[in-house]
Amino acid sequence: MFVVALVLAYFGRAAAQHSFLTPDYRQLLGNLLLLQDGIKPGSWFAPFMGNTPLWSLSYEWFFYMAFFPIYSLLYEREHLQKWVVLALGLAGYLAYKLVPNQISFFLMYFILWWSGVELAREYDSRGRVSWKGQAFQLAAIPLLALLWFVEVRAASATSPWDHPVLEFRHFVTTWAILVVGLVWYHFKGVGFRSLFGWARHLAPISYALYICHVPVIDLAKGIQLTGSLAWDLLWALPLVFGIAYLLELKLQPWINMRFPSAMGKAAPNGAAGKRQRTVRA
């Protein structure tokens, strides 16, 4: 689906500029290697053809790949895992100060993703989450936010979308979401289903919606069937949902069936799952 999103990004941008474009193959390779990011000091590659939501996929890829060795090597010493993640974040910050680079961003942001690991770990072991169980994350994230606040004070940028305000905002909002989530959890999630229950209908196609909506909107801007983007969205948005449906619920299941051996290695009942059940037993 990611490759399809790259193809759509090309045609969407070409339509927006009313011309066949020569792709920047360096940028394309960087996206295929999942090293793309937003435009800021130290980033190596931009999202291909202006498909800006793709910036976050490189982070997700890094987080999943980094999780495996940390979890595996420290399998018997789980209490050290979060300390390693914090150390990687601080090392990333120091390395970025010396030489701005993309890997440092991945390392710094890893602790934001890891907060979900700690929530899942406590819930899995105790059947609930608590302030005490999440105390480390609640203290560690503000530590890195403080470092970014220093960068904000030293910079002239004020827009929440510009570096380094953007990075500071990411850390602060993640911490705030964690706090609000814990408070809401202790109030038994009252009203949660009413506010967000509708999202379960979009969940099966949410990834494809995320990576494909910008190219289709670019296409609508380029074609201009009605001369008004607002009216063109009346056909562009159904097209987005149609593409997402086909990718998520038709193409991906077909690929899974075509390559069952490859998919089986990642299944919950694979070797890793058996090992975990054996250790727990």
Residue 93 included in any domain: yes
The conformation of residue 99, written as its DSSP 8-state character, comes to: S
Q: Residue 281: its pLDDT value, please?
A: 36
Does residue 275 carry a pLDDT above 80?
A: no
| Whether the predicted pLDDT of 268 surpasses 60 | no
Mean pLDDT of the region 93-113: 97
254-263 average pLDDT score = 81
Rounded average pLDDT over 144-149: 96
Q: Would 154 be classed as within a structural domain?
A: yes
Q: Directed axis angle between helix 165-186 and helix 102-126, to 10°?
A: 0
Would you say residue 8 lies in a domain? no
- Are residues 10 and 219 in contact, defined by beta-carbon separation less than 8 angstroms? no
Mean pLDDT, the chain, whole residue set: 91
247 domain residue, yes or no:
no
Q: Is residue 131 part of a domain?
A: yes
pLDDT in tens, 11-51: 999 988 888 899 999 999 999 999 999 989 999 999 999 99
Q: In the prediction, which pLDDT does 276 show?
A: 43
Is residue 114 in a domain? Answer: yes
The total number of structural domains in the chain stands at 1
Q: Residue 262's pLDDT band (boundaries 50, 70, 90)?
A: low
Identify the band that residue 156 occupies on the pLDDT scale cut at 50, 70 and 90. confident
pLDDT tens for 172-181 read 999 999 999 9
Q: In the chain, what's the furthest Cα-to-Cα distance?
A: 65
Which residue is listed with tokens 């002239």?
Answer: 156
| Residue 277 pLDDT grade (very low, low, confident, very high; cuts 50, 70, 90) | very low
The range of the structural domain enclosing residue 137 comes to 74-190
Residue 17, both tokens: 């500029």
> What average pLDDT score do residues 114-124 get?
96
- Please tell me which residue, 272 or 111, carries the higher pLDDT value: 111
Single-letter amino acid, residue 176: A
Confidence at residue 226, expressed as pLDDT on a 0 to 100 scale: 86
Report d(CA 179, CA 134) in Å as an integer: 10
Which segments of the chain does DSSP mark as H helices, in order? 2-16, 25-32, 55-73, 78-98, 102-126, 135-154, 165-186, 192-196, 206-223, 229-246, 252-258, 260-265, 271-280
Q: Is residue 155 part of a domain?
A: yes
Residue 173 lies in a domain: yes
Tell me the Cα Rg of the chain: 21
